[in-house]
Amino acid sequence: MGRFYITTPIYYANDAPHVGSAYTTVNADALARWHRLAGDDVKFLTGTDEHGQKMADAAAKNGFSPQEWTDQVSERFREAWSVLDISYDDFIRTTEPRHYATVQKFLSVIYENGYIYTDVYKGLYCVSCEDYYTIEASDDGMCPIHHSPLTEMEEENWFFRLSAFEDRLLEYYAENPGFVTPETKRNEALAFIKSGLRDISITRTSITWGVPVPWDERHVFYVWYDALINYLTAIGYGQDDDEVAIWWPNSHHLIGKEIIRFHCVWWPAMCMAAGLEPAHHVHVNGWLLVGGEKLGKTMAAEGGVNLTDIEPIALTKEFGVDPLRYYLLRETALGNDGEFALESIVARYNTDLANNLGNLVARVTTVVASKCASVAPAPSGDSPLRLAAESALQGAAHAWEDFAPQRALESTWSLIGATNAYLETLAPWKMEPGEQVDAVMGDALEAIRIVAILVSPAMPGVAEEIWRRIGLTGSPASAPFSRYAVWGQSAGGGRVVKGDPLFPRIKSDE
């Protein structure tokens, strides 16, 4: 049995979740579910990032204190994740006392190790990014991501000696080629390190909404510097060394590509400065785009898109929870950018879900009802579908291990396709009740059983429903799949139920 500690970025609690935040969260959830299915001991962490200028501004604009505001918004994230069936084990808020304790402890170690010093900082700041830009990196004085004017800031701050870690980071990357995936994103991080690292300002005196600096109470930590440490708070850094020793070497951060620099440069350097190995692995996802632009809250606020079009709960009402999850996992490789469009959700739904999966389950349950008196026949040992099932299982397992839900689902759908083709060739619906039809349906039911197991990380609700319809007890998510998803495990005899269509077709506008 392995261990798998998966984290999402902690989302800014300045505004409600949108489908971009749901994208990373659903992917992390499916990966967590796969690893539980594989029999691993899993810890899945998500949460909200609640400090910083942006939060203080959003609270003031809405007439609340920062704490009142983040209480409300953080709750909206929990609600959205509950609707989306996100199986997190821990939800962290950076305003919790446990986080303050870990941040102060971790940063005191770095301070004592001599990597923090004081100086004056001057630069161009983007409040939406909570980040400084050099004039060269800016877009003519504007933020290259938000296209809003950058503000000149000058502060006496505490600094982290990031420049001291250039060589050690390069060494670490060389020794750990799988630290950042995919390769293109690893190269981006490496290019950044090789371009030369400047020390970073890690505290603020301009705001009070943050974690106080233990050795200088006039300052609070800069929001990014406190946020990254959440990954250690959740495993008890400073409180429980055993927990850290168990989980940290098995840590996987899933992040969006705009925060590579923080997670792949700053964060490993911070860990090194504190005498801790960096996280085990960072996987970088691309962006969901609308009209080529990153889909997000700022965009909605600027009127670029209709907020209701990107609100996850509204989308689940329109398409269903599992179909939305399926779309987010299946449409784009986790690492690439992809255009988000309601028409593509409809197309995926009608093709993959209604025509392929839904149709397969409907056909099989209907024929078993009419030709086998609704009792599931047992599978045969040497069915031609056996090979298709074994190869789908193997393909899916490798893909999930590689952080490639899209490929895992393609592999799963290859078994759905093979089973539909098998049924079309043999046309059991034309056969008389008897041994022949029993043999075909026993094999088709076995293929569907394995499909239900393989789709369960992506569509947990649908998988349970299929399980029930093909007359099985227990759950498709019972681990470990290596024993469970093997051809010939079911003995037959269950009561098969014909239900309403799993995925009623959606009429598209065209």
Taking a C-beta distance cutoff of 8 angstroms, is the pair 90, 243 a contact? no
d(CA 19, CA 462): 21
Nearer to ligand ME8, 94 or 411 (CB): 94
107 lies in the binding site for ligand ME8 (CB under 6 A): no
CA-nearest of 108, 97, 91 to 8 is 91
Residue 182, preceding bond cis, omega within 30 degrees? Answer: yes
Taking a C-beta distance cutoff of 8 angstroms, is the pair 220, 51 a contact? yes
Nearer to ligand ME8, 128 or 420 (CB): 128
- The dihedral over CA atoms of 67, 73, 75, 80, expressed in degrees to the nearest 10, equals -170
Taking a C-beta distance cutoff of 8 angstroms, is the pair 340, 288 a contact? yes
Can you point out the beta strands (E) in 50-146?
90-93, 116-126, 131-133
225 lies in the binding site for ligand ME8 (CB under 6 A): no
Question: Segment 73-92, which members bind ligand ME8 (CB under 6 A)?
Answer: none
- The dihedral over CA atoms of 448, 454, 458, 460, expressed in degrees to the nearest 10, equals 60
Nearer to ligand ME8, 286 or 320 (CB): 286
Question: Cβ 210 to ligand ME8, closest distance in Å?
Answer: 13
- Say how many residues touch ligand ME8, by CB under 6 A: 21
d(CA 385, CA 397): 18
Nearer to ligand ME8, 9 or 471 (CB): 9
Name the H helices within 195-337. 223-227, 230-233, 241-247, 260-261, 267-273, 297-301, 312-319, 321-330
Q: Which residue of 227, 345, 389, 408 would you call a contact of ligand ME8, by CB under 6 A?
A: 227
Question: Cβ 131 to ligand ME8, closest distance in Å?
Answer: 10
Binding mask 37-76 for ligand ME8 (x = CB under 6 A): ------------x---------------------------
408 lies in the binding site for ligand ME8 (CB under 6 A): no
> Which residues touch 169 (CB under 8 Å, ≥6 apart)?
193, 197, 265, 268, 269, 272
Question: Cβ 457 to ligand ME8, closest distance in Å?
Answer: 19
Binding mask 5-44 for ligand ME8 (x = CB under 6 A): ----xxxx-------xx-xx--------------------
> Which residues touch 302 (CB under 8 Å, ≥6 apart)?
none
Question: Cβ 426 to ligand ME8, closest distance in Å?
Answer: 44
Nearer to ligand ME8, 256 or 379 (CB): 256
Question: Cβ 266 to ligand ME8, closest distance in Å?
Answer: 10
Sign of the C-alpha dihedral, residues 371, 375, 380, 383? Answer: positive
294 lies in the binding site for ligand ME8 (CB under 6 A): yes
Count, in order, helices (H) and strands (E) of the chain: 21, 17
Name the H helices within 128-248. 166-175, 183-194, 223-227, 230-233, 241-247
Strand order in the sheet with 338-339: 293-294, 288-290, 338-339
284 lies in the binding site for ligand ME8 (CB under 6 A): no
Q: Which residue of 296, 320, 335, 379 would you call a contact of ligand ME8, by CB under 6 A?
A: 296
Question: Cβ 207 to ligand ME8, closest distance in Å?
Answer: 16
Nearer to ligand ME8, 53 or 230 (CB): 230
422 lies in the binding site for ligand ME8 (CB under 6 A): no
Nearer to ligand ME8, 8 or 104 (CB): 8
Question: Cβ 509 to ligand ME8, closest distance in Å?
Answer: 24
d(CA 391, CA 412): 9
Single out the segment in contact with ligand ME8 by CB under 6 A; choices: 28-36, 243-251, 293-301, 379-387. Answer: 293-301
Nearer to ligand ME8, 256 or 395 (CB): 256
Can you give the binding site for ligand ME8, defined by CB under 6 A? 9-12, 20-21, 23-24, 49, 227-228, 230, 255-256, 259, 285, 287-288, 294-296
